[in-house]
Amino acid sequence: MLVKVAIDLALDRLFTYEVPEALREKLAVGQLLSVPFGHRTARGFAMEVAAGAIDSNRPYSLKPIDSIVDEKPFFSGKLLELVRALAAYTAAPVESVLKAAVPAAVVKPNARPKELYFVEPALGEFPVSLTKRQQWLYDQIARLGGGWMQQLCRELKTTPASLKELGRIGLVTVAPRQKRRDPLGGLRRILPTKPLPLNDEQKAALAAIESADKPVLLFGVTGSGKTEVYLQAIARELDAGRGAIVMVPEISLTPQTVRRFASRFGEKVAVLHSALSDGERYDEWHRIRSGAARVVVGPRSAVFAPVRDLGLIVVDEEHDQSYKQDDNPRYSARDAAVLRGRLEGARVVLGSATPSLESWMNVERGKYACAAMANRAGAGTLPDVRLVDMSDPKSGKQGGAIFSQELLDAIALRLDRHEQTILFLNRRGYSRSVTCAACGATVDCPDCSLPYTYHQADDCCRCHICGGWIPTPKVCPACGAPALQYKGIGTQRAEAALAKCFRNAHILRMDADSTSRKNSHDDILSAFRRGEADVLLGTQMIAKGLDFPNVTLVGVLNADSSLNMPDFRAAERTYQLLAQVAGRAGRAELPGEVIIQTYDPSAPAIVAAARGDFAAFAKDELSARKECYFPPYCHLACVNLRSKDMNVVAAWAEMYSKSLMKVKGLTVSEAVPSALEKAEGWYRWQVVVRAAAVSSIVRAWRWIVGERPPPAALRIAIDVDAYNLV
C-alpha cells in the first residue's frame, strides 16, 4: 500500500511512501502523517492512498511513513477536492493551499495543549484518620466545588503532592482534563437573543435562501437586516442537524459582530481569526472538527473550516477585497465558498449592499438567484445625499481648496447642535494618477480609458493595462491649465486646514499613521463614540461597519481620488466606498445628511451612489467593462516579477510578455514596471494577461515557465483574477 503525501515545502509535488502493515487499516486520506524526509522527519497530509504494489523497476525502495499523527482526518474527501481545485485554479502548489486551510497551530508538533489536572471533591464515605490540614484542604476544595491543580496549589498554599495524597485516600478525584481556551470568554455569558419577527422583505429573502438550488445574492442596503436573515437561516440548518460557516471581512470581525452570533447560538459558535492565540485557535479548530461547534465565524480562511454536514455558507460583504488573498495561494474565499457549497451540497448566501460586478453578472446570467431588501429594518432612515461640484467657482473653496462652503456650513451646524461629523478622505499610497487641480481631469490612456500612472523614476506616465506611455505633460490636456499634480491631499493636511476653520472643534484623525500603535484603532473609535470629539477624519478605515448614533453628517472630501485610480475597478470601488460611507449617517433616530465633494459630479459612479441606485451603476459600468474587455467579461491575471537586478527583471518580463503574446486566445500587455517600481530593494515589473477562461491563462503560463524557468535572481508569481494591479 502506498500513500502520496503533501509536505509543506511548496515544491508543488507529492512524495510517495510505503504504508507499513500495522498502519494499513487505519490510514485514510486527509490525515496528518509523520514521514521521514531526508535526514529529518516532516509532517504532511495524506493526499492519495493507492493499493498498488511498489514498482519493481524503481532503482531505490520507498521509505515507509513513521506514523499517523492523528487518526481523525484534517480534511474530508470533499475538502481535499476543494483544495485541489483551488490549487489548480490559482496555479499555486497544493501544499500552499493546504497550509492556508489549516491553522499552523493545529499542525505543528506539540500543538496539543498540555493536559492539566482537575481536582474534584469525591462523594461517599471518608476515612476517619485525617490530619487537620487534610480536613481543612478538603473543606476548601468542597467549598470551591473543585478546581485546577495549579490554581488550587496557589490559592490554598499547598503542593501537588498533598493534593494527590488526598486523591489516594479517596477524598478527591484528580484527573487530567483539557482546559479549553475560549476566545469568546466573557461574550458567552451575555443574554441570549431571540429571533426578531421578520419584515416582509426579510421573509422573502429567507424563503429565497431556503428554496434556491443555486447561490443566492442577498442584495440589501446597509441596515436592511441581512444579519438577522443569516441568523435565522443558520438556525434552520442547526434544527436540521447541519452546520454553517459565516465569513466576514477581517476588519469587521469585531466583538460586536461576534456577539450577534454568540448571543444567538452560544456554545455552538466558534470563532477563527488572526488575533487568536495559538492555543485558542487550536481549541476552536478542534471544537469544530469534533462537531461541538456547529457555527463558524471567521475571515477568508473560515471557508476551509472542517464543519461536518455543512448546510450553509454565508459570505457577508461579499464584494470586500479582503476575501482575495494577496499572497500565495492567491485564492478568492468568496469563490471558494461557492465551490465548496457546490461540492458539499450546501446553500451559499452572498450578502452585500454593493455587490461585486462579478456576482451581479452571475445573477443576470442566471447562475445565482437574487433576493433584494431595499429598506432599513430597524430605526433610522436612509440619509439625504448631496453632491457639491468642486470645479464650480461658486463652491467657495476654503482651507487650501479642501472644503466647500456648503460642507463647512453643515459642519458648523453640527457643532452648534452637539452632533457629530465624519469626514472621509480616500487616498492610497504610492499609486499616483496625474490630476488637474483646476478642472479635476486626469490624464488618461486613450486606448484603455484609465488614468495613466505617474512614474517618477523616468518622469513619464504609463498605462498599466496595455503598457503604453507618454512623457509627463506640462499642462492639463483637458483645460490647458499648468496645474497638474501628482499627489492627493493627505489626511494630515486636511486635519490642519479643518482646525484652522474651526478653532474650538475637537478633531480625531484616523489613518494608517495614527493607528500604527496597537489598539489605537479601537481607542480612537471608542473616544469618538463616547462623544470626546466633534469630528472624525479618516481614510477608508472608517467606511465600514461602524455604527455611531450621534453622527448626523458624513462628508466625502474628494470622491474623485478613488475614481481616478489607474485600476479598471476604480468606479466600482468608488461606488462601494460612497455607499458605505453614506450608510454611516443617520443610523439611529437622528436623520442623516451626506455631502459628497467632487470635481466630476456627472461621473456615473458618483451620481448613482448619491441616489443609492446600484442597478443603474451596474448597468452603466458593465457596459463600459464589456467595451474595454475587462472582468467580468474576461478573466484577468497579473504576472508579477521581481529581482534585485533591474536588468534581469526587465529582460525577463519582456520575454514572458512576448512569449505569452504568441498564445492564441490571450490578450497580453507589454511588460511594465509596477506602480510600486521598487520595494525593499526589489525591482518590480508586471504583465497583465486577459482571456475568456482562467484555465487557458494558467496552462500557457505553466508551459512558458516550464520552457523558460526563471533564473535564481528572479522571483515570479501569477495572480489569477487579480484585484490589486499595483
Consecutive H or E run containing 425: none
356 binds ligand ADP (CB under 6 A): no
* Smallest separation (angstroms) from ligand ADP to the CB of 592: 14
Residue 436 touches which member of ligand ADP, Zn ion, none, C-beta under 5-8 Å by kind:
none
* Smallest separation (angstroms) from ligand ADP to the CB of 379: 7
Residue 674 touches which member of Zn ion, ligand ADP, none, C-beta under 5-8 Å by kind:
none
Residue 124 touches which member of Zn ion, ligand ADP, none, C-beta under 5-8 Å by kind:
none
Q: Which is nearer to Zn ion, 540 or 686 (CB)?
A: 686
Residue 448 touches which member of Zn ion, ligand ADP, none, C-beta under 5-8 Å by kind:
Zn ion
Alpha-carbon gap, residue 443 to 475, rounded angstroms: 10
Interface residue with Zn ion, options 71, 155, 447, 513 (CB under 5 A):
447
* Smallest separation (angstroms) from Zn ion to the CB of 472: 16
Alpha-carbon gap, residue 55 to 74, rounded angstroms: 29
Stretch that binds ligand ADP, among 55-63, 193-201, 417-425, 620-628 (CB under 6 A): 193-201
Consecutive H or E run containing 179: none
Q: Which is nearer to ligand ADP, 304 or 575 (CB)?
A: 575
Interface residue with ligand ADP, options 16, 162, 199, 696 (CB under 6 A):
199
Among 148, 157, 221, 214, residue whose Cα is nearest residue 181: 148
Cis previous bond, 299, omega within 30: no
Q: Match 485610480 to its residue by C-alpha cell.
A: 565
417 forms beta bridges with: none
Residue 225 touches which member of Zn ion, ligand ADP, none, C-beta under 5-8 Å by kind:
ligand ADP
Beta 635-643 vs 714-720: how paired, if at all?
A: antiparallel
* Smallest separation (angstroms) from ligand ADP to the CB of 196: 4
Interface residue with Zn ion, options 288, 310, 466, 660 (CB under 5 A):
466
Among 566, 592, 568, residue whose Cα is nearest residue 581: 592
Q: Are 704 and 660 in contact (CB under 8 A)?
A: yes
* Smallest separation (angstroms) from Zn ion to the CB of 468: 5
* Smallest separation (angstroms) from Zn ion to the CB of 691: 18
196 binds ligand ADP (CB under 6 A): yes
Angle CA 252–255–258, to nearest 5: 80
> Going by C-beta distance under 8 Å and a sequence separation of 6 or more, which residues neighbour residue 86?
92, 97, 329, 331, 336, 339
Q: Scan residues 377-396 and list those touching ligand ADP (CB under 6 A).
A: 377-378
What distances in angstroms separate CA 114 from CA 179, 263, 290, 690, one per listed residue?
8, 30, 19, 52
Residues binding ligand ADP: number (CB under 6 A): 15
Residue 227 touches which member of ligand ADP, Zn ion, none, C-beta under 5-8 Å by kind:
ligand ADP
224 binds ligand ADP (CB under 6 A): yes
Interface residue with ligand ADP, options 96, 222, 574, 643 (CB under 6 A):
222
SS3 of residue 314 by DSSP: strand
Alpha-carbon gap, residue 215 to 110, rounded angstroms: 40
673 forms beta bridges with: 685
Interface residue with Zn ion, options 336, 448, 510, 578 (CB under 5 A):
448
263 binds ligand ADP (CB under 6 A): no
Among 79, 44, 80, residue whose Cα is nearest residue 63: 44
Alpha-carbon gap, residue 714 to 632, rounded angstroms: 31
Q: Which is nearer to Zn ion, 448 or 524 (CB)?
A: 448
303 binds Zn ion (CB under 5 A): no
627 binds Zn ion (CB under 5 A): no
198 binds ligand ADP (CB under 6 A): yes
225 binds ligand ADP (CB under 6 A): yes
SS3 of residue 517 by DSSP: coil
445 binds Zn ion (CB under 5 A): yes
Residue 199 touches which member of Zn ion, ligand ADP, none, C-beta under 5-8 Å by kind:
ligand ADP
Q: What is the pattern of x (binds ligand ADP, CB under 6 A) and - over residues 461-500?
A: ----------------------------------------
Residue 226 touches which member of ligand ADP, Zn ion, none, C-beta under 5-8 Å by kind:
ligand ADP
* Smallest separation (angstroms) from Zn ion to the CB of 450: 6
CA 462 to chain centre: 30
User: What's the half-sphere exposure (Cβ side, CA atoms, 13 Å) at 641?
Assistant: 27
Stretch that binds ligand ADP, among 215-223, 263-271, 435-443, 668-676 (CB under 6 A): 215-223
Residue 237 touches which member of Zn ion, ligand ADP, none, C-beta under 5-8 Å by kind:
none
* Smallest separation (angstroms) from ligand ADP to the CB of 220: 5
Q: Match 500612472 to its residue by C-alpha cell.
A: 453
463 binds Zn ion (CB under 5 A): yes
Number of H helices, E strands in the chain: 21, 31
Q: Which is nearer to ligand ADP, 196 or 275 (CB)?
A: 196
Give one word for 266, left, alpha or beta, with left for phi > 0 and alpha for psi -120 to 50: left
Q: What 3 state SS string does 555-609 have?
A: EECCCHHHHCCCCCCHHHHHHHHHHHHHCCCCCCCCCCEEEEEECCCCCHHHHHH
* Smallest separation (angstroms) from Zn ion to the CB of 558: 24
Q: Which is nearer to ligand ADP, 187 or 198 (CB)?
A: 198
280 binds ligand ADP (CB under 6 A): no
Radius of gyration of the chain (CA): 30
Residue 139 touches which member of ligand ADP, Zn ion, none, C-beta under 5-8 Å by kind:
none
Consecutive H or E run containing 502: none
573 binds ligand ADP (CB under 6 A): no
Q: Which is nearer to ligand ADP, 278 or 547 (CB)?
A: 547
Q: How many residues does the chain have?
A: 726
Q: Which is nearer to ligand ADP, 224 or 539 (CB)?
A: 224
Consecutive H or E run containing 159: none
SS3 of residue 387 by DSSP: strand
Give one word for 180, left, alpha or beta, with left for phi > 0 and alpha for psi -120 to 50: beta
Contact set with ligand ADP (CB under 6 A): 196-199, 202, 220, 222-228, 377-378
